[in-house]
Amino acid sequence: MGVLKIMVFRLILMFFVFGILLGNAQKAVKENEVIHDKIINIQIKHLEQSFKNAFNNGEIDEFRALFDDDMRKRNTTTKLQENFTQISNQIGPIRSLTLDRNNKSSYTYRSVHQKMVTLKVVFDLTDRGQVSQMKISSDYVYDDAPVLERNTSELILPFHDEWYTFWGGKKTSDNYHNTYPGMKGAYDFWVMGDNGKSHRKGATENEDFYAFGKEIIAPVDSKVVYSFDEVPDNKWPAMNPTSGTGNVVLLETEHKEYIVLGHLKQNSVKVKEGQFVKQGQILGLCGNSGRSTEPHLHFQIQNIPDFAAAKGTWVHFKEIRVNGALKEDYIPRRGDKIRN
């Protein structure tokens, strides 16, 4: 009995001693992990800042210093500079870079650019925190984007006098925009002359179109999220296929609806980013910039500011005259002559 007791006691003692050692070792590993995480966190913050500096200010070498050898060989300073410049020319510098998710050594970012387009940027890091891979793509998906069934803000039409609805309404045959989720519910408006056309007889330039140069006004009290008016107007009948909405004002309503007024005239935009505008206030003039075949206003409401990732929605106007008759909460459709 006595021997057994001692053996059990020794066993317990051994476990106890071993237990202490094991505990210390675990504590040490944990401390190392915490230190490692802290270092990685500092490196990540440094990487974010360096990427922004490289992209926005051309500080490429500082950014490349964070790459591992292989990555540095694959991406010369010149090559990186060229790629960044090419992207920046299209969508502008980075406004904000936020970490979206982190899966082990892979870090995915939401990179929002000046022209309201978001890119997905993924960095893969080595154990030592060096960049072993970088992927930049335009397929960023907003998981947190709200669904917008229609507008709740009470809107007036964004112009004075009578305009004509060339594309508009819920039927795709009335409104080609509906075939693209990003432009669902959008309108193309122009002004019809007494001749039943959008332009004077023998039109040769933008000025011959009745809509060109007309005042575009704010449909509701809102905040200017983005405005741009540096694209030259197309020389009708030529078209600029690369610039999309061309010169544009993007408004945010109090209900977080994002109103797009596109194809505005070059150098005509009168409002600045961050400015609050009143319903009826002049935003700019109707033009023929971007993907536009003739002077007109492209008007739509979307669920988020991002032009590439947003979804369009049905746009109802509070109280307007449609072909002379008063209509409430109305969606103009192709062929409607409308005015406030």
Q: Which residues bind Zn ion (CB under 5 A)?
A: 188, 298
Sheet holding 118-125, edge to edge: 94-103, 106-113, 118-125, 131-137
Please state the closest distance from residue 183 (CB atom) to Zn ion, in A: 7
Q: Give me the DSSP letters along 65-129.
A: TTB-HHHHHHS-HHHHHHHHHHHHHHH-SEEEEEEEEEETTEEEEEEEETTS-EEEEEEEE-TTS
Residue 112 and residue 184: Cα distance in Å, rounded? 23
Please state the closest distance from residue 188 (CB atom) to Zn ion, in A: 4
Q: Which is nearer to Zn ion, 109 or 299 (CB)?
A: 299
Inter-CA distances, 254 with 218, 220, 258, 326, Å: 14, 10, 10, 26
Please state the closest distance from residue 127 (CB atom) to Zn ion, in A: 51
Q: Which is nearer to Zn ion, 110 or 263 (CB)?
A: 263
Q: Which is nearer to Zn ion, 184 or 298 (CB)?
A: 298
Task: State which residue has the least CB distance to Zn ion.
Answer: 298
Please state the closest distance from residue 261 (CB atom) to Zn ion, in A: 11
Q: Which is nearer to Zn ion, 115 or 298 (CB)?
A: 298
Q: Which is nearer to Zn ion, 103 or 179 (CB)?
A: 179
Residue 190 and residue 299: Cα distance in Å, rounded? 11
| Residues found in the chain | 340
Please state the closest distance from residue 56 (CB atom) to Zn ion, in A: 31
